[in-house]
Structure 1
Amino acid sequence: MKILTANRLSDGEVVWFANGQWVESISQAEIAEDKAAEAALEAAGARGLADNLVVDVDLIDVEIVDGATHPLRLRERIRAAGPTNRNDLGKQARTQHAA
């Protein structure tokens, strides 16, 4: 399984592609389960790059654990959450404040 990630060009925020738009939560990311879906995501990433919406577009491997999307690579886990030395910053802090 793969999802499409990038950084939004306007502010550098890590985003994921879902339903025709770039979203800030990995839990909303569109999941590709076959080569055709991966190709569709790659095409969406190419459009986002060409339209100057995002940079550093990449398909990443994920797994679903207890209904949640988890990147397999450590780099992508950090990008999804925030800095490892400051839990009060990044997306992880937003989740803590919402709870």
Structure 2
Amino acid sequence: TISGLILAPIAIAMTDFSSPINWGFRGPVLAGMVQLLNAIGALTWVYAFRYGKAIVVVPMTGLAPVITVAISLVVYGVVPGGILLTGLIIAVAAIVLLSE
């Protein structure tokens, strides 16, 4: 909160006020939806730490690239290279092994 208040004047100074504001779905509505998902994610993260095992929760928080790669496979049809695929498999295997 304090850093946000300190950095707010810098953000305002960097804003281009001559650009039109998009008041449609891709503007404030989409930003609000992103913030809602961010809040849900933060609450579930805290819930996982409170009621789950930290040794499982911590590595799972670093699995966002696995989800990104899975989405890219579906949306773009991009297949990851050998090293990236090996790393993803090892990361998922580590989560499975730590959860037992």
TM-score using structure 1 length: 0.31
TM-score using structure 2 length: 0.30
Name the one with the larger helix percent: 2
The higher relative CO (CA closer than 8 Å, separation ≥ 6) is in 1
Larger radius of gyration: 2
